[in-house]
Structure 1
Amino acid sequence: MDLTNNLDKQYIDGKWLVGNHEDIIENNNPFNQEVLQKIQGASTDDVDTAYQAAAQAASSWANSLPQRRSEVVSKVGRLISENKKAIIEWLIKEAGSTHVKAEVEIQICQAIIKEAASFPSRSHGYIMNSTIPGKENRVYRRPLGVMGIISPWNFPLHLSMRSVATSIALGNTIVLKPASQTPVTGATLIARLFEEAGLPKGVLNVVIGKGSEIGDYFVTHKTPQLISFTGSTPVGKNIGKLAGEALKKVALELGGNNVFIVMSDANIDQAVDAALFGKFMHQGQICMSINRIVLQEDIADEFVEKFVNKAKTLKAGDPSDKKVTIGPLIDVDQVGRIKEDIDKSVKAGAKILLDGKIEGTLMHPIVIDHVTDDMPIAANEIFGPVAVMIRFKNEEEALKIANSKDFGLSGALHTRDIEKGVAFARKVETGMIHINDQTVNDEPNVPFGGEKGSGIGRFNGEFILEEFTRLQWVSIQHEARDYKPFA
């Protein structure tokens, strides 16, 4: 399979096309700034054409046999396995993924594809009793129709595929808009895989364009019945507002300010190892990454010392080097934003224990202790390799810290007393929380999603079926009904 041709073009109605907007989107390697591609951006006319193609394909794809849809999705999974090396190379050079992160991304992507391939046979309706004599109630499950999907740059392959593969399996058609930083791994590569797998034209369409040019138009367009967005909370709130005004459904997976709580009875060595993974995987550029490490006072010094010693051993550099575990941030703007929050927090009293150097987009691990929950480095989502240590006296204070932000995506808690941990976890206002583990978890069969400013809806398993389909009630009156006093 050729993964080089046409990946710098729009994919609309089964054709690879040059966009009609005057803007040129540069696709750069975030580590060395090499220009990988120059892509002619999509215009609003291109968005119209893509949605029209999806609408025209919707009926035939919705009525296709379930085994046909399952077969296409399954073949995409096989093609990813066959082309794994080339896909990893793209994830490294386009998204700044290290080898280990690219391997993890492909693994979870394959898991959700396998799950999605089972959806055509798992998607069913109901026959239900009626309170009316002689009546039968049938509830039919149908595809939504056309969906608009907007995907992010941090896990572009997986976070596009979890909506794309699921939607296609359930009989929907799609227009996909990737992040401008990752148009290949977030969209055109996926389109190429589905094209090779035999997906009919018009079922999947890709438009690559700047959000400032086509973003709002993509959301407010009259055609899609649902907008699926993964990204920042401010952008998600605007999408929710625009979609709500148009009475569209939304599936929003947004930002997080995730806590990693270590109680005094925890296994400290296990907690340190878990925290290193949850903080530094993909340079902390994951919505589920640990944002605040919250330590009970009597074990805080021991935890911090062990954490710093291990963080010093993590190698930062060129993500194409298999020994590197910390690669670049996606662009220099992210570095500047994080550095500003660090500087303000240090002025407020925070102490830098590990001052990793900064080289362009590359940030070596940084560890900051004696942070308070109101400092900028704790109050804001970091999205970078900066570990923040906050200390607490008792469980009441820990819970207050955990619930202090307008986010509720993921969390973790370490304690030897499992039932105490479960009781505490159930008080945390979050969609997901993990005991004696770290915050970055995603499994294809469990509900994935957040509370508060972290989003609306749930992905994965049977839970996404409810998001990406609709129900229709059809009743049959088998016996004559008594309509008195009207009859």
Structure 2
Amino acid sequence: MSPQTFMKQYINGEWQSGSSEKMVENVNPYTNQTLSNIPSASEEDLDRAYQAAEKAQQEWKVFTPAEVQSYFEELVKVVEKRKDEIVDWLVKEAGSTIVKAEVEYQAALGIIKESASFPTRMNGQILPSNTKGKENRVYRSPKGVIGVIGPWNFPFHLAMRSIAPAIATGNTVVVKPASETPVTSGLFIAELFEEAGFPKGVCNVVVGRGSEIGDVFVTHPSVKLISFTGSTEVGSHIGELAGRHIKDTALELGGNNAMIVLEDANIDKAVQAAAFGKYLHQGQICMAVNRIIVHEQVHDEFVSAFKEKVESLKFGDPSEKESVVGPLINHEAVKRIQEDIEKSVEQGASILTGGEAEGNIMQPTILTGVTSDMPAAEHEMFGPVASIIKAGSEEEAVKEANNSHYGLSGSVFTEDIHRGVEVAKRIETGMIHINDQSVNDEAHVAFGGEKESGIGRFGGEWALEKFTTVKWIGVMNGYREFPF
């Protein structure tokens, strides 16, 4: 397909220019070169997309499970065939390193394959009744039109994580991709569904600024559920709008994830895990390790080994295979992170290594002497900065881990697995891993957070539950007697 395709909207199976006077500039975060200027969608474009999705859903919802699965089987083939293009776009549009793009591609492919099983898993129930001669039937059906707002950090996977399950369960979708990654979180996905032969109107993509079409994207009368992955601040606004209009939401928001390293941990393994969990995609992951809470008995040993590991990580051009740390999404992110580092240092933290930036590339950084009231520990850094906090006991480590508004993911390192599980149970988080880092996402397992990290769960039966609804139909065998 011509690159010109990725400068248009995809509405009802047609590629067409956005009718807004505004443009969405798509920029390579490493080179700062403009990849394209996309005419933005207007409210009228968005309305046409929602109407197309609503009309298409009436036909799509009655396709047989085998018919839906055949479309998904073709989608898998198309995605596998175009893997190199997907990886290339993730590198140049999202600043992904090759290893991160590979991880993201495999995760998205897993979501598609898991979603292909959903059409035959939409089970109903027959329940007994306390009314004689009656049975209670519970039928499961799609919700209707789903609005998906894609993120920029893992754009292909995290958009697909909502799009594929929603469509597989009989819904249709309208996608508003992140303005920073309009291709990988939207337009390329539309092209893949088109190439796989999905009916017109099942998948629609509108590229536009949140300031212009964001609110109406949520409040449009056609949409039944908004699925959003992004910041807690934006998610809170979406939740407020959705609640006012009685619309369901699936919100996967921020994280300030802690890795606890107990005194009996395998330090070498903990160091390896912490480096991956912190610096994959420059730490721009909601699940990334942000705070490393280390027991005082092994603190110095961990810090020394971690410093050596981090200083060996290659940073720079994300298209080079050896690069581990690539660019941050834009220079505003660099400035925000450096301000948090400076304020934390003013409050007593020390820069053990890194801290410098050139363009959007920031060195892998370690801060020591961090306390929970410093910006580096209090904020979701969303960058290549690891904050190390010393804990005097297991109890103190748990308290530190829970000292956050967020509760998405986490990690506990200990040679005693039972102890690790007991510690994990005490952490207020939706996901946590023993002797592993915090960045884990498997298509068939419940994914989501507590506190300000979001509402709802993605993955497997939890996604199936989220994108469908149930109806109780009571059936009398004969007629019942009434008291009046």
* TM-score past 0.5 threshold: yes
Shift of 1:418: 1.1
Does the Cα contact within 8 Å between 2:28 and 2:93 map onto a contact in 1? yes
Match of 2:364 in 1: 365
Does the Cα contact within 8 Å between 2:338 and 2:355 map onto a contact in 1? no
One-letter identity of the residue aligned with 1:55: E
Matched residues in 1 for 2:223 and 2:380: separation?
31
Listed one character per residue, the Cα deviations across residues 118-138 of structure 1 (whole Å, up to 9, x for unaligned) are: 000111111111111100111
Shift of 1:224: 0.4
How does 1:49-88 map onto structure 2 within 5 Å? 49-88=48-87
Match of 2:391 in 1: 392
Counting aligned pairs with the same residue, the percent is 55
Match of 2:252 in 1: 253
Moved more, 419-428 or 259-268: 419-428
Shift of 1:89: 0.6
Determine if the alignment matches structure 1 residue 474 to structure 2 residue 473.
yes
Match of 2:458 in 1: 459
Shift of 1:74: 2.2
Does the Cα contact within 8 Å between 1:369 and 1:390 map onto a contact in 2? yes
Partner secondary structure for residue 3 of structure 2: coil
Match of 2:118 in 1: 119
Shift of 1:39: 0.1
Listed one character per residue, the Cα deviations across residues 170-190 of structure 1 (whole Å, up to 9, x for unaligned) are: 000111000001010110100
Determine if the alignment matches structure 1 residue 4 to structure 2 residue 38.
no
One-letter identity of the residue aligned with 2:450: E
Matched residues in 2 for 1:215 and 1:393: separation?
47
Partner secondary structure for residue 298 of structure 1: coil
Shift of 1:482: 2.0
Listed one character per residue, the Cα deviations across residues 337-396 of structure 1 (whole Å, up to 9, x for unaligned) are: 000000000010001110243111000111110100110011000000011100010122
Moved more, 5-14 or 185-194: 5-14
Shift of 1:318: 0.6
Change (3 A) 1:3 1:124: farther
Partner secondary structure for residue 443 of structure 1: coil
How does 1:264-283 map onto structure 2 within 5 Å? 264-283=263-282
Partner secondary structure for residue 205 of structure 1: strand
Matched residues in 2 for 1:61 and 1:257: separation?
40
Q: Which contiguous aligned blocks of 4+ residues in structure 1 show a shift greater than 4 angstroms? A: none
Matched residues in 2 for 1:145 and 1:389: separation?
46
Match of 1:296 in 2: 295
Matched residues in 1 for 2:145 and 2:83: separation?
30
How does 1:67-466 map onto structure 2 within 5 Å? 67-466=66-465
Matched residues in 2 for 1:4 and 1:23: separation?
20
Listed one character per residue, the Cα deviations across residues 106-125 of structure 1 (whole Å, up to 9, x for unaligned) are: 11111111100000011111
Shift of 1:5: 4.4
Does the Cα contact within 8 Å between 1:133 and 1:479 map onto a contact in 2? no
Partner secondary structure for residue 7 of structure 1: helix
Does the Cα contact within 8 Å between 2:226 and 2:248 map onto a contact in 1? yes
Matched residues in 1 for 2:58 and 2:329: separation?
39
Does the Cα contact within 8 Å between 1:272 and 1:307 map onto a contact in 2? yes
Match of 1:483 in 2: 482
Does the Cα contact within 8 Å between 2:408 and 2:453 map onto a contact in 1? yes
Does the Cα contact within 8 Å between 1:177 and 1:187 map onto a contact in 2? yes
Matched residues in 2 for 1:417 and 1:54: separation?
52
One-letter identity of the residue aligned with 2:126: I
One-letter identity of the residue aligned with 1:261: I
Shift of 1:60: 0.4
Partner secondary structure for residue 251 of structure 1: strand
Matched residues in 2 for 1:402 and 1:72: separation?
44
Does the Cα contact within 8 Å between 1:457 and 1:467 map onto a contact in 2? yes
Partner secondary structure for residue 6 of structure 1: helix
One-letter identity of the residue aligned with 2:405: D
Does the Cα contact within 8 Å between 1:3 and 1:86 map onto a contact in 2? no
One-letter identity of the residue aligned with 1:44: E
Matched residues in 1 for 2:154 and 2:74: separation?
21
Does the Cα contact within 8 Å between 1:3 and 1:192 map onto a contact in 2? no
Shift of 1:94: 0.3
One-letter identity of the residue aligned with 1:72: Y
Shift of 1:7: 1.4
TM-score of the superposition, structure 2-length normalised? 0.99
Listed one character per residue, the Cα deviations across residues 216-271 of structure 1 (whole Å, up to 9, x for unaligned) are: 11111111000000000000000000000000000000000000000000000000
TM-score of the superposition, structure 1-length normalised? 0.98
Shift of 1:3: 6.3
Matched residues in 2 for 1:207 and 1:98: separation?
27
Shift of 1:68: 1.5
Does the Cα contact within 8 Å between 1:341 and 1:377 map onto a contact in 2? yes
